Amino acid sequence: MEKTLADTLTGWRRHLHANPELSLQETRTAAFVCERLRELGVPFTAGVGGNGVVATISRGQSNRSVGLRADMDALPILETTGLPYASATPGVMHACGHDGHTTSLLGAAALLMADTSWTGTVQLVFQPAEEGGGGAKSMIGDGLFQRFPMERVFSFHNWPGLEAGTVMVHDGPVMAAGGRIEIVMKGLSGHAALPHLTRDPMVAAGHVLVALQSIVARNVDPLDAAVVTIGAIEGGHAANQIPSTVTMRGTCRSYRTEVRDLVDEALRRVADGVAATFGMQAEVTIQHGIGPTVNTRPEADMVAEACTGAGLAVRRDMRPAMTGEDFSWFLHEKPGAFVWIGNGPAGEGQDLHNDRYDFNDAILPAAATYFASVARRALKA
């Protein structure tokens, strides 16, 4: 990539970083994307599935098509990086690198527009609301694949701890399916000095918290993978009162539907059993959102071949992660692949969703090249 384009991408990325928007609120981000596409001479359609933007580049007479996707939203995190281009919106931050993903796809548009060696159609999908806002499903529900045909679809996520610019390609699962857990222990409130007249949900919640750890350890096949984590417990307002309810919230993750169903059943069994032991009731709610992100093998091989041919370093030896990814909905509809591109060393504060995280601008050329190279390779398949 020419230095001029690389410098331009860095400027775009830092602008987006300084102006983050939460899921379902990406109006200025979408407008920025549209303006850059307009400058590049790329036709686009805005307002797809909310704030989504789809740009279309066609060349030659081929009827082959491919989709490339990047996410645009930020997180409700207060940035503490102290960078000159730090978030100007208090409590909102690009702590997952979506600013870099969006910029990389714009960079791919520039590369593809300047290259006359390929034929076919490339659909560039700028997706809103990846962070739990259902943006992928909204775009699909708005006719994404009917209005903008694509035979295959590809995306990436930056990955701290992986060598900068290295492309990690998984065969099969890349990220897990996610579910949200809420367990409400319903007891009987009363004076803290008269516990025998109450049914204490605090004590019961403590036993539930410990018992939940046995689900993965003693119910899930050791050759499978699952996570059950409680991240929030709320109950009580006064130090001298036993409350009537305690609410526990968390997440469950797995790669296979069978494991998900097993974990669901175990969560209910443990909560109900502990509640019965303490003479109270448990109300369990499990909401399943995204499914597992799973690459199809031909498309994974296609990515590895394209990236190697473009001079990018490729790895295929890392295990998948228990994080979740909205792109999974696209892979439920079309074959494709989701890869990791190394963000460089993951020192203290450099992990995803950290208030000191920053996307590495040095990998923008590699990420844009990944998108453009995979598109050209897919159109030849």
Instruction: Tell me, yes or no, whether 364 and 252 share the same domain.
Output: no
pLDDT at 349 over 90: no
SS3 236: coil
Give the residue from 288, 320, 348 where a domain finishes.
Answer: 288
Instruction: Tell me, yes or no, whether 225 and 373 share the same domain.
Output: no
* Beta-carbon contacts of residue 378 (< 8 Å; ≥ 6 apart): 64, 66, 151, 152, 154, 299, 302, 306
Which domain CATH number covers 303?
A: 3.40.630.10
How far, in Å, CA of 364 to CA of 176, rounded?
Answer: 26
Decide the pairing of beta strands 293-294 and 177-186.
unpaired
Indicate the pLDDT class of residue 381, thresholds 50, 70 and 90.
confident
The stretch 224-251 carries a mean pLDDT of 97
Instruction: Tell me, yes or no, whether 137 and 198 share the same domain.
Output: no
Instruction: Tell me, yes or no, whether 231 and 275 share the same domain.
Output: yes
Indicate the pLDDT class of residue 23, thresholds 50, 70 and 90.
very high
Q: What is the pLDDT of residues 258-278, one digit of tens each?
A: 999 999 999 999 999 999 999
Q: Which of 192, 189, 269, 259 lies closest to 221 in space, CA to CA? A: 259
β-strand partners of 181: 250, 286
Domains in the chain, number: 2
The stretch 180-190 carries a mean pLDDT of 97
Give the residue from 247, 269, 288 where a domain finishes.
Answer: 288
Instruction: Tell me, yes or no, whether 364 and 233 share the same domain.
Output: no
Pairs from 350-353 (Cβ < 8 Å, separation ≥ 24): 350/160, 351/160, 351/161, 352/95, 352/96, 352/97, 352/160, 352/323, 353/75, 353/77, 353/95, 353/96
Instruction: Tell me, yes or no, whether 157 and 267 share the same domain.
Output: no
Q: What is the pLDDT of residues 309-336, one digit of tens each?
A: 999 999 999 999 999 999 999 999 999 9
How far, in Å, CA of 111 to CA of 124, rounded?
Answer: 13
Instruction: Tell me, yes or no, whether 242 and 323 share the same domain.
Output: no
How far, in Å, CA of 82 to CA of 73, rounded?
Answer: 21
- Cβ–Cβ contacts within 10 Å for residue 356, how many? 17
Structure tokens at 88: 């100007």
Instruction: Tell me, yes or no, whether 71 and 40 share the same domain.
Output: yes
pLDDT at 350 over 90: no
CA torsion, ordered 110, 371, 308, 325, to nearest 10 deg:
160
The boundaries of the domain holding residue 92 are 3-173+293-380
Instruction: Tell me, yes or no, whether 112 and 11 share the same domain.
Output: yes
The stretch 287-291 carries a mean pLDDT of 88
The stretch 138-146 carries a mean pLDDT of 98
Eight-class DSSP state of 210: H
Q: Please give the pLDDT value at position 347.
A: 79
Instruction: Tell me, yes or no, whether 112 and 219 share the same domain.
Output: no
pLDDT at 1 over 90: no
Q: What percent of the chain has pLDDT over 70?
A: 100
pLDDT at 132 over 90: no
Give the residue from 270, 288, 306 where a domain finishes.
Answer: 288
Q: Please give the pLDDT value at position 289.
A: 83
How far, in Å, CA of 188 to CA of 245, rounded?
Answer: 8
How far, in Å, CA of 90 to CA of 77, rounded?
Answer: 8
Instruction: Tell me, yes or no, whether 165 and 307 share the same domain.
Output: yes
291 or 66: which leads in pLDDT: 66
Instruction: Tell me, yes or no, whether 168 and 216 share the same domain.
Output: no
- CB 74 within 8 Å of CB 22: yes
Q: What does the mean pLDDT of the chain come to?
A: 97
